[in-house]
Homo-oligomer: A and B are copies of this chain.
């Protein structure tokens, strides 16, 4: 069957997107100009928008189901870090040309899988043709009980510092995707390589951790630009510093093996972006309760260091020497 292109915005919205809005009455079937949201009583809304663009955050020829998943996941990751429960999202979809029906069906499939996994619905948005690259600007909205949003700039000296999951896998996955011989050179098994690539393509926002964070965390943020840069932001905003032991950083089997082969890849663990794990500072007195709550949520948390009053951030290697990252993390407007 020859690939056919969709014929207009009405088909794009009616056939492929409206089913994703069926579970949210305020979307009005995507037939109005706006969506309407009745906040839950006693709740505040937590809001985030972060666009992804082909050639920056994914490759234009990636599986459209993965592109859609990632576009939503990177935003939902922020909601989770704030202790918020995801509710709805708006999508501004800019396409370089009318998409093929098959492409659009896969895209909607990935988006559907993501919204089911994160517990949310499409509420509205817009589709446009762009002279540039495919870009997707999601705006996600979650809820917290009033006054309970977990802040970034609230860490205090003495707090225990935790990170969820494992670090650096996404950077490793991207490197593996760009270099067909790398898996062999690093001695990775096929499963290990697939794990790292999967982490790059389909990050898993730690939605299940929201409740534990709301209950016990002093400060939290998601890691999107690399541990050192994001921890630096948390500490600068809070007027504190941090000590982190590199040997304490949680690593996947794939990353362990990669580090055995090329120890310099520790820089990806401490400074590469796209982790979408959660960094949190928890009062020492609450750390046991936090660990128990995190365990109940099924999300592995690792204690990686502590918040200090000296306003400097150190990641120390096994010999106690500070690791200098090759770069200070991801910045769209700094030259590298």
Instruction: List chain A positions with a Cβ less than 8 A from chain B.
Output: 5-9, 12, 26, 28, 31-39, 44-51, 53-56, 78-79, 81-82, 84, 90-92, 94-95, 98, 123-133, 135, 137, 139, 141, 144, 146, 149, 151-153, 221-222, 237, 331-334
Q: Number of copies of this chain in the oligomer? A: 2
Instruction: For the complex of A and B, list the 7 residue pairs with the smallest distance between their C-beta atoms, beginning with the closest.
Output: A132-B132, A137-B137, A129-B332, A139-B139, A98-B333, A132-B133, A51-B92
* Complex CA–CA separation, A331 to B128 (angstroms): 9
Within 8 Å CB of A35, what residues of B? 46-48
In contact, B34 and A44 (Cβ under 8 angstroms): no
Closest to A221 in B: B33
The minimal Cβ–Cβ distance linking A276 to chain B, given in whole angstroms, is: 12
* Complex CA–CA separation, A153 to B124 (angstroms): 16
| A94, A124, A222 pick with most chain B CB within 10 angstroms | A94
Closest to A127 in B: B332
Within 8 Å CB of A144, what residues of B? 36
In contact, B45 and A45 (Cβ under 8 angstroms): yes
The minimal Cβ–Cβ distance linking A75 to chain B, given in whole angstroms, is: 9
In contact, B333 and A34 (Cβ under 8 angstroms): no
Within 8 Å CB of A92, what residues of B? 49-51, 92, 137, 139
